Every structure is written in structure tokens, then in C-alpha cells.
């Protein structure tokens, strides 16, 4: 894990996930059109809670299969969750996808994981007890709602999982909100905060005011203003990162 402090994570949480992406794309060697973000649609069922950020703790479930309960060691699973420094996001792969039959998450499990310093979940399965989960302060990005829990229990944990078309490793830093999620490659963590701050300020000082401060401009003047702002945005980005910016 990187040396990002809790204060760094709190600052990263102040922005939405697209803003974090804007910083990430300037510092990564990954493919910014294919890597790190969810490739399938997901729903944020608590958008009013804003973004969440945390380390991935992982599990795989198969609620249709009662046999898994015969070997499940709840204490061992909770010891794994407790052993990872928080904040944590529980990333759950549902083997029943797309034929969902039950949910890991409800009032009890969300409160239990909140006590273990987990701030939310990303699951390609279901959630239930939506109001109670919200009351627990446990955010969820999921495929849909459901009624029951069926035979939920972890099949395995602390392993690579795949959710919404993205593979996630245990301990990976994740930023998520109503737009989706970004799973940060470990080598990009140390520069992420600085890059996100810079790109947000860059927008606020160039292309956004150029599009807002238009009173009294003729159409040619407006177009010239937008062109100049985009040029300045790109110049600033190239000077900072030696890369072209979005504009």
C-alpha cells in the first residue's frame, strides 16, 4: 500500500469521481479509455451521501447454493476484514449474476461492516433494506434491489474479484460515487491527490470562466474567448504533466 494518509483520503473524498479521473489520466501509464473504471452500468443507491473512498476488501458469493454455509467460518472472515486498515470498501462478486436471488447486504450486515470501519460496498449483485443501510452510513453501488438474502455467505475472500467488468485486487484504492468507480493502480496513488487538485484548479481558472463570463460578447468574441481558454488549459497541463489536457 502507498503512504497516502487519512488526511489525503479525506481530501480525495471532497471531489466527485470524474474529477479524480481527470487527475488520474494525467499521471497514469494505463489506457485511459479502457482501464481502472467500471465498464458496465452500476447504480449508486445513496447518492446523497456523496463520494466514498477506501481500500478494497473482497469476497465472492453465490446465494443460490446452500452448500457454502457448511464450510463458512464467520469469525475468520471478520478477522480478515478487521485486519485491513480503514476506510474500506467491500467489493462483492455475485456468481449468480445476472440471475440474482439474494443479497449480502441489509440492515444487520451493513451495521456489522460499518463497525469494522467499512464505509460501503460495490457489488455486482443486490442490496436490500435500503433505508436501514443509509441510516447505518453504509453506501452501496449495486446492480439492483432485492427482497431476500437467500443462502448468502462468502464463498471465498481476500481474492481478486471482477465486478461491473473490472477486476479488483484486495487492498486496491477505490473512489466511487453516482457516476461509477475508479480503481486506482497502486503505482498511481502517490501523485493522485496533487494531480486531481491541479486539474480541478486548471478548469476553474480557464475553460469554466470562459464559458460563464459571456455577457456582452459578440459571437466571434465568445468563440475567441473559448479558444483562448482551451489553449491556456492545454498549456497549463503540458507544463505540469508533459501531456495534452482534455481541451
* CATH for 123: 3.50.30.40
The three-state DSSP-derived secondary structure of 44-57 is: ECCHHHCCEEEEEE
In order of 28, 31, 165, the CA distances from 87 in angstroms are 24, 27, 24
Q: What is the pLDDT of residues 39-87, one digit of tens each?
A: 999 999 999 999 999 999 999 999 999 999 999 999 999 999 999 999 9
Residues 153 and 88 reside in one and the same domain? yes
pTM: 0.94
Query: What is the structure's pLDDT at 2?
Result: 58
With a cut of 80, say whether residue 205 has pLDDT above it.
yes
Q: What is the DSSP letter of 129?
A: -
Using pLDDT thresholds of 50, 70 and 90, give the confidence band for residue 244: confident
**Within a domain: residue 200?**
no
Same-domain status, 182 and 214: no
Asked whether residue 236 falls in the same domain as residue 126, the answer is: no
The residue segments making up the domain with residue 234 are: 206-241
What does the pLDDT average to over 194-218?
97
Report if residue 195 sits inside a domain.
no
**23 and 144 share one domain:** yes
Same-domain check for residues 93 and 145: yes
| Overall average pLDDT of the 90-109 stretch | 97
Residues 158 and 231 in one domain: no
Please tell me whether residues 180 and 69 are part of one structural domain.
yes
> Rounded to whole angstroms, how far apart are CA atoms 142 and 108?
17
Q: Quick one: pLDDT band at residue 3, thresholds 50, 70, 90? A: confident
**What region does 42 belong to: left with phi over 0, alpha with psi -120 to 50, or beta?**
beta
Instruction: Give percent helix, percent strand, percent coil of the chain, each to the nearest 5.
Output: 40, 25, 35
Asked, for residue 177, whether it belongs to a domain, the answer is yes
In this structure, the answer to whether residues 164 and 211 fall within a common structural domain is: no
End-to-end alpha carbon distance in the chain: 33
Number of domains in the chain: 2
- Whether residue 74 lies inside any domain: the answer is yes
**In degrees rounded to 5, what are phi and psi of residue 38?**
-65, 140
186 and 89 share one domain: yes
Mean pLDDT of all residues in 231-237: 97
Same domain, 155 and 65: yes
In a domain, 85, yes or no: yes
Q: How many CB atoms lie within 10 A of CB 199?
A: 26
Q: Say if residue 224 is in the same domain as residue 102.
A: no
**In the structure, what pLDDT confidence band is assigned to residue 245 with cuts at 50, 70 and 90?**
confident
- pLDDT level of residue 246 (50, 70, 90 thresholds): confident
Whether 109 and 32 map to the same domain: the answer is yes
pLDDT digits (tens, 9 = 90+) for 126-140: 999 999 999 999 999
Q: Is residue 21 one of the residues assigned to a domain?
A: yes
Q: Does some domain include residue 154?
A: yes
Do the domain assignments include residue 246?
A: no
The DSSP symbol for 40 reads: S
Amino acid at each position: 500500500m502507498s503512504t497516502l494518509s487519512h488526511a489525503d483520503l479525506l481530501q480525495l473524498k471532497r471531489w466527485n469521481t470524474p474529477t479524480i479521473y481527470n487527475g488520474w489520466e494525467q499521471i497514469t501509464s494505463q489506457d485511459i479509455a479502457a482501464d481502472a473504471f467500471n465498464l458496465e452500468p452500476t447504480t449508486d443507491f445513496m447518492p446523497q451521501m456523496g463520494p466514498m473512498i477506501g481500500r478494497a476488501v473482497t469476497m465472492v458469493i453465490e446465494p443460490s447454493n446452500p452448500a457454502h454455509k457448511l464450510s463458512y467460518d464467520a469469525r475468520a472472515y471478520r478477522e480478515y476484514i478487521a485486519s485491513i486498515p480503514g476506510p474500506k470498501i467491500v467489493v462483492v462478486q455475485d456468481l449468480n449474476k445476472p440471475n440474482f436471488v439474494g443479497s449480502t447486504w441489509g440492515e444487520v450486515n451493513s451495521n456489522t461492516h460499518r463497525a469494522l470501519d467499512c464505509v460501503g460496498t460495490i457489488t455486482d449483485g443486490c442490496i436490500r433494506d435500503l433505508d436501514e443501510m443509509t441510516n447505518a452510513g453504509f453506501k452501496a453501488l449495486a446492480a439492483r434491489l432485492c427482497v431476500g438474502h437467500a443462502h448468502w455467505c462468502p464463498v471465498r475472500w481476500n481474492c481478486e474479484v471482477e465486478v461491473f467488468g473490472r477486476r479488483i485486487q484486495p487492498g486496491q484504492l477505490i473512489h466511487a460515487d453516482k457516476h461509477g468507480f475508479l480503481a486506482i493502480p497502486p503505482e498511481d496513488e502517490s501523485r493522485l491527490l496533487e494531480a486531481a487538485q491541479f486539474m480541478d484548479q486548471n478548469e476553474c481558472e480557464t475553460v469554466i470562466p470562459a464559458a460563464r463570463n459571456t455577457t456582452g460578447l459578440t459571437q466571434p468574441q465568445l468563440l475567441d474567448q473559448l479558444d483562448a481558454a482551451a489553449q491556456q488549459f492545454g498549456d497549463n497541463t503540458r507544463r505540469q504533466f508533459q501531456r495534452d489536457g482534455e481541451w
